């Protein structure tokens, strides 16, 4: 029998994952609606994490410095089919926990999707694989989440110690 705390944690995790799925669906819709025939666009961006806070069950991490590098590629074929990919990687990310212990972050987030204009079928896949590394090089916490949304149905597998 599952405890109430475990059930509550699973419910919160499901809601958070569903919210992320909705966000991915909105991002994908913007690409599909915004694209024109025979168009391909790639953009590169970088944004600061400094001052942000990341809460995990074992610790709360405050971002001291570092950035996320993002590459977005969008394509629309002449027939109207669309696809997009987004890759995000941490760059020199430094964090501290509530006790002042120093950490870094490594890994990547990737998500992408496609739609078939003739059938209306859509699929979006997201992978989050990030590690929070302590000063001695060991893994303190992880974000390991794979999601797939196919025609509105979300399938997710979370094996990390934190949620994105």
Q: Is residue 164 part of a domain?
A: no
pLDDT at 163: 75
- Residues 88-112 have pLDDT tens digits of 999 999 999 999 999 999 999 999 9
Separation CA 107–CA 18 (nearest Å):
23
The kind and range of the H/E element at 143 are strand 139-150
Domain count of the fold of the chain: 1
Name beta bridge partners: 147.
Answer: 126, 156
Tell me the two tokens of residue 127: 């992978």
Residue 37: CB atoms within 10 A of its CB come to: 11
Range of the domain at 68: 4-158
pTM of this prediction? Answer: 0.73
Between CA 157 and CA 21 the distance in angstroms is 12
Q: For residue 135, is it within any domain?
A: yes
- 96, part of any domain: yes
């Amino acid at each position: 029998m599952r405890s109430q705390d475990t059930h509550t944690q699973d419910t919160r995790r499901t809601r958070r994952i569903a919210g992320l799925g909705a966000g991915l669906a909105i991002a994908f819709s913007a690409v599909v609606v915004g694209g024109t025939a025979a168009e391909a666009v790639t953009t590169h961006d970088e944004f600061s994490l400094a001052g942000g806070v990341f809460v995990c069950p074992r610790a709360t991490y405050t971002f001291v410095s570092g950035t996320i590098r993002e590459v977005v590629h969008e394509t629309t074929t002449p027939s109207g089919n669309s696809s997009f990919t987004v890759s995000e990687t941490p760059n020199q990310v430094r964090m501290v926990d509530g006790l002042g212990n120093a950490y870094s972050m490594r890994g990547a987030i990737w998500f992408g999707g496609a739609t078939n204009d003739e059938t209306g079928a859509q699929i979006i896949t997201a992978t989050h694989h990030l590690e929070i590394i302590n000063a001695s090089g060991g893994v303190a916490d992880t974000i390991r989440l794979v999601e797939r949304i196919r025609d509105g149905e979300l399938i997710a597998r979370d094996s990390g110690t934190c949620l994105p």
